[in-house]
Amino acid sequence: MDYEQLPRAALIRLLQEHDTSLSEAGKNGIVMSYTGRTAPWQIIRQVKPKLNKIVKKLSVGDEADQSLNEIWDGENLSAMVTLYKYRGQIDLIVADPPYNTGTDFRYNDKWDKDPNDPDLGELVPKEDGSRHSKWLKFMTPRLWMMREMLKAGGVMAICIDHRELYRLGMLMDEIFGEDNRLAIINWQKTTPKNQAQHITITTEYVLVYAKSLERAKTGTVERSALADARFGNIDQDTLSDWKQGDLTGKGPSPGANYAIQSPFTGTFHDPGERHWANKRAQIKAWAEEWGVEYEDRDIGDGRGKALALKGWGKAKTEAQMRTLLNASRKKAEARLKQGAWPVLYWGNDGQQKPVKKVYKTLVRQGAVPQSFWVADEDGPADLEAVSWLRNMSGRSRDGIEELDAIVGKGHGFETVKPLKLIKKIIQIWCKPDGIVLDPFAGSGTTGHAVLELNEETEATRRFILIEQGNTDKGDHYAKTLTAERVKRVITGQWAEGEREGLPGGFRFVELRREKIDADAVNTLAREEMIDLLLTSYWDKSERAKSYLRRLPAGTHRHLFGVNTKNEGFFLIWDAPDQPSSLTRDAFRRVVEEAAAAGLAPRYHVYASLAPYTGSGIEFYKIPDSVLEHIGFNPRADAYNNEGAED
């Protein structure tokens, strides 16, 4: 960087950031040092926002749905810099970076001098002695930029395995601060195998950090609409809706394996290879609420004394047993007709094994995250270093099978994060109307998870996915896999068969190689200019929520988009070599187009000149206003790294 060419204000800011970086590192007690290290803020200052293009044929949904979500095809550091409108606006970042296994991480040596180079570089093999320093040089500016994208109360959850766990943890402590670490989640990715020489590796990790611990919120796991749908109230219970639950617990337990006699049929029911999960006195009290009495009686089944109908032991003949059972059945059937059945009940008709009522009012509507992710009814535990069992977070194999079912086999991915894992992370750390960013989108699991959660919990979360991807054949699989997966879950056209689609849509955006400056903006064709305006526009009053819905091309001379307030956006720009001036005649056409479209009388107009100013006009000068919205500082001709408003 040529410091002599920078304005005085920019030099002052550089020194302030440098001092802040050193003081933060000192406070955290750690500064990472590795070959070729450069301060991340210095690297990011060299990265320029780039031109982009909305690819309509790869976008999905109607224009309103497309405006909510974005999938970007391009190098993620450049993409995050280009996504200036979202700086300081992201609620949750979910990141699954390359693990540096020798088969998944590429490094471009040109990045050491120019981080703008879009190529991913060569594969870094296990034998490369500098593989760890290359990985750190790759990750450091990206983690810094991800932190910049977060709201003050935002959270980052980054996946990793044992290979780079320690280095990533130290780097996260340095950039985010050790005090902002929320959790180290250890999740079971696979079942144990007996082939390892020493220890079978069955787990991976998710490191969770807040941008600011004081402002971050760790939420509960929202109950899904599907889970709520399991509750009903066929017996008109006044307490609340309920669902059928299990009276038994896993495995046998001495003293809790006895049989219970049904007052309806006289059948003795035992828990099999399990055990009754409640104390015997509680089970007996629940059973006697059916209007009958019970006694302890050995029935010779080897399980200890059963809970038998009172008098059953004295009944010596079949006639006596029948008389006792008829009396108990009469009382139990009367209780069944009465409604509002006891907690222990014998099925809807009284003819089944004993089960338990689980009341909706007694089940927490959100489950607090716990050291082992267990049932919603269990109590809370603090998150620090925690473990999630595979049946609660899913396995890697589940992720592969989910992807196979959606896009078919042959996709080439050997590891895919399971939906269950990503959904739980999103539920806990992203509010229902928040924005999730995934800078290493891979197969698109995060986008799928957001859409599925929105449907299940009636949320309105949005997603931004960034993926370049690069196979040996040069396949940028943002198109062929990431977007394809999300498209299929929206349309319901799964490879394994048609399913009901999920509501939603997305814009597919290609990051181009050209950097944005005044000359680049002034040479854009009309449709290219519209693409840039749609992806970059934001309003200070609502920032990340100020997205524009595109109107069909060719339907208007100037009108190209509408915001959430039903206000029109107009572009007076036919071609780079054509006049771009807001004249009286142009404004008359703007007003007519707005009236014909039924828009509010406030007119957002882009043009190079504005010799006419009328009532209700919000004028945006080309290229200055466009450059401002992408964070470009025309005076310094450098990326404007001003902090975003929260």
Q: Which domains does the chain have, with CATH numbers?
A: 3-187+203-223+396-512 (3.40.50.150), 225-358 (no CATH), 517-629 (no CATH)
Structural contact between residues 583 and 548, judged by C-beta atoms closer than 8 angstroms: no
Q: Which of 51-60, 197-206, 246-255, 465-474 has the highest mean pLDDT?
A: 51-60
Q: Say what the pLDDT of residue 28 is.
A: 53
Report the 10 Å Cβ neighbour count for 403.
25
Confidence of residue 416 (pLDDT cuts 50, 70, 90): confident
In this model, does residue 375 exceed pLDDT 80? no
Confidence of residue 374 (pLDDT cuts 50, 70, 90): very low
Kindly list the distances between the CA atom of residue 523 and the CA atoms of 55, 517, 569, in Å, as whole numbers in the listed order.
19, 10, 21
In this model, does residue 373 exceed pLDDT 80? no
Can you count the helices (H) and strands (E) in the chain?
Answer: 19, 32
SS3 396: helix
Helix axes 165-176 and 131-149, enclosed angle (nearest 10): 40
In this model, does residue 626 exceed pLDDT 60? yes
Higher-confidence residue of 148 and 25: namely: 148
| Rounded Cα gap, residues 80 and 66, in angstroms | 19
Tell me the residue ranges of DSSP E strands in 310-362.
344-345, 355-359
Of the candidate ranges 2-6, 522-526, 541-545, 577-581, the one whose mean pLDDT is the lowest: 2-6
Percentage, residues of the chain above pLDDT 90: 56
In this model, does residue 154 exceed pLDDT 60? yes
Q: Say what the pLDDT of residue 362 is.
A: 64
- CA 96, distance to chain mean position in Å, is 12
Mean pLDDT throughout 315-329?
93
Q: Which of 147-151, 404-408, 422-426, 468-472 has the highest mean pLDDT?
A: 147-151
CA atoms within 13 A on the CB side of 414: 5
Of the candidate ranges 285-299, 406-420, 480-494, the one whose mean pLDDT is the lowest: 406-420
Q: Say what the pLDDT of residue 351 is.
A: 94
In this model, does residue 379 exceed pLDDT 60? no
Question: Kind of pairing, strands 294-297 and 275-276?
Answer: unpaired
In this model, does residue 638 exceed pLDDT 50? no
In this model, does residue 219 exceed pLDDT 90? no
Mean pLDDT throughout 135-152?
95
SS3 174: helix
With vertex at residue 599, the alpha carbon angle to CA 594 and CA 605, rounded to the nearest 5 degrees, is 55
Q: Say what the pLDDT of residue 238 is.
A: 86
Confidence of residue 536 (pLDDT cuts 50, 70, 90): very high
In this model, does residue 14 exceed pLDDT 80? no
Of the candidate ranges 167-171, 186-190, 252-256, the one whose mean pLDDT is the lowest: 186-190
**545-570 residue pLDDT tens:** 889 999 987 889 999 999 999 999 99
Mean predicted lDDT score pLDDT of the chain: 85
| Rounded Cα gap, residues 284 and 294, in angstroms | 7
Q: Say what the pLDDT of residue 245 is.
A: 87
In this model, does residue 420 exceed pLDDT 60? yes
Mean pLDDT throughout 473-497?
87
Which helix (H) or strand (E) element contains residue 423?
Answer: helix 419-429
Structural contact between residues 632 and 625, judged by C-beta atoms closer than 8 angstroms: no
Of the candidate ranges 20-24, 48-52, 504-508, the one whose mean pLDDT is the lowest: 20-24
In this model, does residue 643 exceed pLDDT 60? no
